[in-house]
């Protein structure tokens, strides 16, 4: 696997592949890779001739009091895992390479409405940072396919909306969340949790499973959300939000909506975890 920080080298390699009529799948990441990322890379390798991965901890998507500096950087281990999973080209730019004019950019990519609620309400500017970096990376790599985890459900919807609205010729693929045996969704931020907190955090998935079951059986959604919120507090979580939405567009649900998604964000200690569960209401 060839690793470079250089945009021109990335473009040159991709031009060579495309000239030979070969396809490129792209997996953008912030590094500290785990089994969930490896599943994305393996899926990318199934879908295209070449897999390009980026590792970039994007300052633009972190709020002032968030964990930008503490975010784990584990490049050697990430490189070894990526070789194993079938990546061929790794792009590891610095903030100065990506944002040569500093953070006071002149151009941002905004995906309004969908970016302003749920995680966007607690993390103002977060999805603008995500949409801007993903758009920039897409312009550098120009992939045929890009693969993301469904765990970041709202992020995936922001990216799909951006790609559609800007007519980018890229197929966006979402891959099911990979979980620990306990049910805890894999995340780079799980590394901040103690063993005890990890055990407690597994109640998030159990609670969402029980909610989905109860709503499918006809329980009132508001009632289900309220009960689940109490259960999560008892399990040691400080809830940011817990919401049931239309899975196709994240709109608040109407009486006839069947394809639903539970979205949750909650703090375990000082670590903010997110998760979601799609289900069908009868």
From the candidates 37, 50, 126, 251, give the one annotated as an active-site residue. Answer: 37
Separation of alpha carbons 223 and 266, rounded Å? 19
Residue 155 is labelled as binding a ligand: yes
Instruction: Check the annotation: does 251 bind a ligand.
Output: no
- Site residues (vs ligand PAF, CB under 6 A): 28-30, 58, 61, 130, 133-134, 152, 155
CB of 135 vs ligand PAF, minimal distance in Å: 10
Q: Please, which residue, 61 or 115, has the CB nearer to ligand PAF?
A: 61
Sheet with 145-149: list strands edge to edge: 2-4, 89-91, 50-55, 24-29, 145-149, 171-175
Q: What are the residues whose beta carbons fall under 8 Å from the beta carbon of 207, sequence distance 6 or more?
A: 228, 231, 232, 235
The smaller minimum CB distance to ligand PAF, of residues 123 and 245, is found at: 123
- DSSP type of residue 252: B
Task: Output 142 or 203, the one with its CB closest to ligand PAF.
Answer: 142
Residue 64: CB atoms within 10 Å: 6
152 annotated as belonging to a binding site for a ligand: yes
Q: How far is the CB of 261 from ligand PAF (least distance, A)?
A: 18
Least distance in Å: CB of 71 to ligand PAF? 10
Determine if residue 35 is labeled as part of a ligand binding site.
yes
Smallest separation (angstroms) from ligand PAF to the CB of 116: 17
- For residues 107 and 21, is the Cβ–Cβ distance under 8 A? no
For 241, phi and psi rounded to 5 degrees?
A: -150, 155
Euclidean distance between CA atoms 274 and 139, whole angstroms: 28
Q: Tell me if 178 is assigned to a ligand binding site.
A: yes
Q: Is 126 a catalytic residue?
A: no
**CB nearer ligand PAF, residue 187 or residue 207:** 187
Q: Do residues 44 and 24 touch, judged by C-beta distance below 8 A?
A: no
User: Binding site: what residues are annotated?
Assistant: 30-37, 61, 149-152, 155, 178, 186-189
Residues with catalytic function: 37
User: Binding site for (R)-pantoate: what residues are annotated?
Assistant: 61, 155
User: Binding site for beta-alanine: what residues are annotated?
Assistant: 61
């Amino acid at each position: 696997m060839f690793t470079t920080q250089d945009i021109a080298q990335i473009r040159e390699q991709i031009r060579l592949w495309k000239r030979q009529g070969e396809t490129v799948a792209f997996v953008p990441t912030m590094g500290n890779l785990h089994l969930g990322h490896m599943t994305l890379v393996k899926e990318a390798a199934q879908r295209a001739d070449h897999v390009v991965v980026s590792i970039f901890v994007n300052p633009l998507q972190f709020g002032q009091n968030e964990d930008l500096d503490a975010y784990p950087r584990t490049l050697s281990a990430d490189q070894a895992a990526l070789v194993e999973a079938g990546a061929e080209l790794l792009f590891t730019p610095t903030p100065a390479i990506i944002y040569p004019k500093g953070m006071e950019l002149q151009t941002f990519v905004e995906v309004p409405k969908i970016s302003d609620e749920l995680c966007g309400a607690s993390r103002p500017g977060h999805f603008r940072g995500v949409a801007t970096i993903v758009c920039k990376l897409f312009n550098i790599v120009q992939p045929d396919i890009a693969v993301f985890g469904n765990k970041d459900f709202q992020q995936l919807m922001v990216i799909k909306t951006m790609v559609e609205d800007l007519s980018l010729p890229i197929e966006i693929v979402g891959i099911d969340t990979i979980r620990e045996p306990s049910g805890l969704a894999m995340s780079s931020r799980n590394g901040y949790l103690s063993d005890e907190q990890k055990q407690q955090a597994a109640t998030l998935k159990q609670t969402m499973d029980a909610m989905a079951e109860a709503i499918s059986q006809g329980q009132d959604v508001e009632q289900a959300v309220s009960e689940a919120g109490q259960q999560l507090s008892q399990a040691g979580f400080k809830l940011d939000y817990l919401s049931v939405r239309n899975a196709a567009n994240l709109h608040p649900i109407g009486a006839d909506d069947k394809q639903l998604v539970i979205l949750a964000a909650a703090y375990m200690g000082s670590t903010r975890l997110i998760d979601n569960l799609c289900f069908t209401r009868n």
